Amino acid sequence: MSFDSLGLPASLVEAVKNAGYETPSPIQEQAIPAVLAGKDVMAAAQTGTGKTAGFTLPLLAMLEKGERAKPNQVRALILTPTRELAAQVQASVQKYGQNMPLRSMVVYGGVKINPQMQMLRGGIDILVATPGRLLDLYQQNAVRFQQLEVLILDEADRMLDMGFIHDIKKILKALPPKRQNLLFSATFSDEIRSLAKGLVNNPVEISVSPRNTTVEKIEQALYEVDKTKKTALLSQLILDNKWRQVLVFVKTKHGANRLVKNLDARGIRSAAIHGNKSQGARTKALAQFKDSQIQVLVATDIAARGIDIDQLPNVVNFDLPNVSEDYVHRIGRTGRAGNEGLAVSLVCQEEFKLLKDIERLIKKVIPRKIFAGFEPGEPLQPSVLGTHEKQVKKPKSPKVPHKDGVRSGARTGSAKKQNGPRNNFVGG
């Protein structure tokens, strides 16, 4: 199948070809015709599947035909969870729509609001926004939605994870009921389906990324190492393997800063992105990483969501994530577009339970390695899929007749009130 057969205008097909794409991805094959037909869409697709073009291309095609946006009005609204993703969606809109008479802009927090308010005065055909800043603009009468035709929620699962559900509900109340709705999420969780009930109408459901699967072309490896030696091991792996571009995931903002400081001290150029960094600093770090000015980009899960880097060769889990699904998102940043990738996890004894949860989720035992000189003081227990730890039952007390007719170890109503001896009961 080619882009010509999806119903897109010739100008957009040409723009796609100029961007270097010949054939549509599975999400684009299914989403583009459905959106052009005016249908609501509910799609399960992770970052890196081509989903952004899957909704921006038909959106541009539809809006080109209509009436231009009036002052402070918006014709299409794309909501995203993070600044980085918002900026990348806007870049996609600009790339494909550069020869169209449409106005687009991106708004997010962390930067001054007045310039955004001034731009909105002229009317915007496509507005890409994070929920918090959009509500600020709406409350100051800088943006209006009477002309809104299309609403797109991108990475809806992450927006819920980040606590945006109340903001989203406020935004939905401000929108006209008659509109086209597109919802994109990595997974169709119960929470997402609950949100969808009040959002999409008879949607076309699309799923191109089976839930919680990991890409075949990604090589996964695990190094057993003590927590205190992780930084030294990471440095050694980078130097020995001559990794030129590594995305490293950590749990906390402070952990990210500390790791960057230690890597820099070892001569490895690094930068961190997380919620405490200014938008300018985050954008600069990402640009330097893409241009290979720095070797290592250290990121927290929330800050990294939406980062799309072509041909990223290496991802490292410095800390395992608390949420198993985040492991799938993390390593999915490498091995894209048919390229091979390597995902390495540094795992200490304290993270064994997290490892078990991840392996149970991906239905695969991750191959283990030990690096000479970094042997762990306490090796990890072996992983066995499909088994659960057996709980050791405590022995019951013997049934000895009691002088009051109640056997020893039995619990009566009065014993319960008096907090009787709990060690006589299994699970107590």
Domain-wise residue ranges, the chain: 3-207, 218-369, 392-428
pLDDT digits (tens, 9 = 90+) for 94-148: 999 988 999 999 999 989 999 999 999 999 999 999 999 999 999 999 999 999 9
pTM across the whole model: 0.61
- Separation of alpha carbons 28 and 163, rounded Å: 29
Q: Fold match between 3-207 and 218-369?
A: yes
Q: Is 85 strand, coil or helix?
A: helix
**Fold (CATH) for 3-207:** Rossmann fold (3.40.50)
pLDDT digits (tens, 9 = 90+) for 142-200: 999 999 999 999 988 888 877 888 999 999 999 999 999 999 987 777 888 888 887 89
In Å, what is the CA distance from 409 to each residue of 80, 149, 332, 403, 405? Answer: 58, 69, 54, 13, 12
- The set of long-range contacts for 20-26, using a CB threshold of 8 Å and a minimum separation of 24, is 21/53, 24/50, 25/49, 25/50, 25/53, 25/54, 25/208, 26/208
What DSSP string runs through 229-269?
Answer: GHHHHHHHHHHHHT-S-EEEE-S-HHHHHHHHHHHHHTT--
Q: What is the CATH code for 218-369?
A: 3.40.50.300
Q: Are 311 and 337 in contact (CB under 8 A)?
A: yes
Counting as low any pLDDT under 70, the low residues of the chain are 46-48, 209-217, 302-311, 335-339, 386-428
